[in-house]
């Protein structure tokens, strides 16, 4: 059983409740998870609050940095355990988790340890009427107990992207992993204990959202700040919870990201990049592409090339080296994705490839499999072009002018990311500036320097994470004015 991790110890739920975790690959029962009661959430928040003023609160920045490097090294040492846990929970190919999820999970601790060590402080000399003057300087103080609410698509990576900077800044955390992916957050408790992170600094409570651990944690009055990654509708609920007590909130939410392919692009690179952005991680990437706009002269050629690429992706089990694409996270999510597949057809889409559930071998038939799917021919206002599906699918539409494609790309409630493919440098800069998105890639996708600002415009987010931007959220700046 996967247990809650409270005050440095693993514990079953106070009322003994558990819930199931099933494999996305074949729906077999993987394990049961302790479902935190309200008393467990309260105990986790109490432990986190007490730890703020204990040994952890007395550590110097250098000592914290040293410990976070040790956390990263211990994740590396237990790499195979983390890999197995992440792959079991998500069903994603081992090749992806080995290259992206687990290394980034470790790197997030080092990146923010470096950031806090190197962040400059403000200093101002000021004149005073007596001629002696005064000096002002700022110091960074932790915000306090941070609630960390996470999704299931990159569980360890996205959780440590918040826990890393929160701890680097001297806060304590209570993590609520997704109910779909509890295992790596639980395992991280062992790492914290192994390297001597004091009790109560890192806590994990398992459960769901409403009337469960998610709600109890985010409405808890002793939580000082809330950081969330997940769906926009959930983010809105969390923002309301944060309003009580006027607590800071950081929201990384959904997207309906566009890729724009100009006729002057490097065609093979554009195909390779958009194929990846639409289908990697079975399309369950917040930054992924679900809308592709292609300049008319190369439209037909592009559709055919992307179709071939999608059809070459082999659906398979995580351990198979040939697997290009795994199942989606759960039966529930599969049903949601397939409902969009039906809606696309009802709305008159041309199904270029896929469009339904694949025929799998007998032992995988109960898994959450869906076909990689490409559509053309839908109106820009149709549900499938407007709503985030979060599956292995995309719609491709032609365009004629730069102005037209900017308008189409921006015609969405979301604003997380966009990518554009062109060899015209001036156009690359011009279109990047015009797109309403927090992150724009030119001739690439998913290329990330962890010091850069990460986050969404419009309904995709509030605030920015990454490098010094995370430090702004996880610290309170205090000005000290000293009269000389």
Interface of this chain with ligand NAD, residues 237 to 276, rule: CB under 6 A? 237-238, 252-255
Catalytic residue among 150, 169, 265, 286: 286
Minimum CB separation of residue 155 from ligand NAD in Å reads 9
66: Cβ contacts below 8 Å, ≥ 6 apart:
none
Q: What are phi and psi of 14, to 5 degrees?
A: -55, -35
- Which one, 238 or 393, has the nearer CB to ligand NAD? 238
Minimum CB separation of residue 436 from ligand NAD in Å reads 15
What burial letters (b/e) apply to 163-183, b meaning 16+ CB within 10 Å? Answer: bbbbbbbbbbbbbbbbbbbbb
Using left for φ > 0, alpha for ψ between -120 and 50, and beta otherwise, residue 89 falls in: alpha
Q: What are phi and psi of 474, to 5 degrees?
A: -90, 5
Q: Binder to ligand NAD among 107, 158, 305, 344 (CB under 6 A)?
A: 158
Interface of this chain with ligand NAD, residues 117 to 156, rule: CB under 6 A? 149-153
Strand partners, 396: 292, 376
Angstrom distance (rounded) from CA 56 to CA 369:
45
- Which one of the spans 176-184, 192-200, 302-310, 469-477 is the region binding ligand NAD (CB under 6 A)? 176-184
3-state secondary structure of 369: coil
- Which one of the spans 47-55, 213-221, 315-323, 439-447 is the region binding ligand NAD (CB under 6 A)? 213-221
CB-closest chain residue to ligand NAD? 209
Which residue bears the tokens 């730069």?
A: 402
Interface of this chain with ligand NAD, residues 427 to 466, rule: CB under 6 A? 456, 460-461
Does the active-site annotation cover 252? yes
Angstrom distance (rounded) from CA 27 to CA 317:
13
Does residue 388 bind ligand NAD (CB under 6 A)? Answer: yes
The token duo for 226 is: 């809330």
- Which one of the spans 48-56, 62-70, 212-220, 260-268 is the region binding ligand NAD (CB under 6 A)? 212-220
Question: Inter-axis angle of helices 467-474 and 155-168, to 10 degrees?
Answer: 60
Q: Binder to ligand NAD among 16, 120, 129, 210 (CB under 6 A)?
A: 210
- Which one of the spans 114-122, 175-183, 185-193, 300-308 is the region binding ligand NAD (CB under 6 A)? 175-183
Q: What are phi and psi of 421, to 5 degrees?
A: -125, 115
End-to-end CA distance of the chain: 61
Q: Binder to ligand NAD among 229, 257, 373, 475 (CB under 6 A)?
A: 229
Q: How far is CA 194 from CA 8, 73, 74, 285, in A?
A: 10, 11, 8, 32
Does residue 286 bind ligand NAD (CB under 6 A)? Answer: yes
Q: What are phi and psi of 10, to 5 degrees?
A: -85, 135
Does residue 101 bind ligand NAD (CB under 6 A)? Answer: no
Residues in the interface with ligand NAD (CB under 6 A) total 32
Does the active-site annotation cover 20? no
- Which one of the spans 45-53, 124-132, 234-242, 352-360 is the region binding ligand NAD (CB under 6 A)? 234-242
Catalytic residue among 35, 252, 290, 295: 252
Does residue 218 bind ligand NAD (CB under 6 A)? Answer: yes
Active site residues: 252, 286
Positions touching ligand NAD (CB under 6 A) are: 149-153, 158, 176, 178-179, 208-210, 214-215, 218, 229-231, 234, 237-238, 252-255, 286, 388, 390, 416, 456, 460-461
């Amino acid at each position: 059983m996967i247990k809650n991790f409270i005050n440095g110890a693993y514990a079953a739920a106070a009322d003994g409740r558990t819930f199931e975790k099933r494999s996305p690959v074949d729906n077999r029962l993987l394990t049961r998870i302790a479902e935190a009661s309200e008393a467990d959430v309260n105990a986790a928040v109490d432990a986190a609050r007490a730890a703020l003023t204990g040994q952890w609160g007395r550590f110097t920045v250098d000592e914290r940095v040293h410990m976070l490097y040790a956390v990263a090294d211990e994740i590396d040492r237990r790499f195979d355990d983390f890999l197995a846990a992440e792959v079991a929970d998500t069903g994603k190919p081992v090749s992806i988790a080995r290259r992206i999820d687990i290394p980034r999970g470790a790197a997030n601790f080092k990146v923010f340890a470096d950031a806090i060590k190197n962040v400059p402080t403000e200093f101002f000399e000021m004149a005073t009427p007596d001629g002696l003057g005064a000096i002002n300087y700022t110091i960074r103080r932790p915000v306090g107990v941070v609630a960390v609410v996470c999704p299931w698509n990159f569980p360890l990576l996205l959780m440590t992207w918040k826990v890393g900077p929160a701890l680097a800044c001297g806060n304590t955390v209570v993590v609520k992993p997704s109910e779909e992916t509890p295992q790596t957050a639980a395992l991280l408790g062992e790492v914290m204990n192994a390297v001597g992170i004091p009790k109560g600094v890192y806590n994990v409570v398992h459960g769901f959202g409403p009337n469960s651990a998610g709600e109890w944690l985010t409405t808890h009055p002793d939580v000082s700040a809330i950081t969330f990654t997940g769906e926009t509708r959930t983010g809105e609920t969390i923002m309301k919870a944060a309003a009580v007590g006027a607590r800071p909130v950081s929201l990384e939410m959904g997207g309906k990201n566009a890729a724009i392919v100009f006729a002057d692009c490097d065609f093979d690179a554009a195909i390779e990049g958009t194929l990846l952005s639409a289908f990697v991680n079975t399309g369950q990437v917040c930054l992924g592409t679900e809308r592709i706009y292609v300049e008319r002269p190369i439209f037909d050629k592009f559709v055919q090339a992307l179709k071939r690429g999608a059809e070459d992706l082999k659906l398979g089990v995580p351990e198979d080296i040939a697997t290009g694409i795994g199942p989606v996270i759960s039966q529930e999510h599969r049903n949601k994705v397939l409902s969009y597949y039906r809606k696309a057809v009802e709305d008159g889409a041309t199904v270029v490839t896929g469009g339904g559930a694949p025929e799998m071998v007998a032992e995988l038939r109960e898994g959450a499999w869906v076909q990689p799917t490409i559509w053309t021919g839908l109106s820009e206002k149709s549900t499938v072009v407007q709503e985030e599906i979060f599956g292995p699918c995309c719609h491709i539409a032609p365009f004629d002018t730069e102005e037209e494609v900017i308008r189409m790309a921006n015609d969405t409630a979301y604003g997380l990311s966009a990518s554009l493919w062109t060899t015209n440098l001036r156009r690359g800069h011009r279109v990047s500036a015009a797109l309403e998105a927090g992150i724009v890639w030119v001739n690439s996708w998913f290329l990330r320097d962890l010091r850069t600002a990460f986050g969404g415009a419009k309904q995709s987010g509030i605030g920015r994470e990454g490098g010094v931007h995370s430090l702004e959220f996880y610290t309170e700046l205090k000005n000290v004015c000293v009269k000389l």
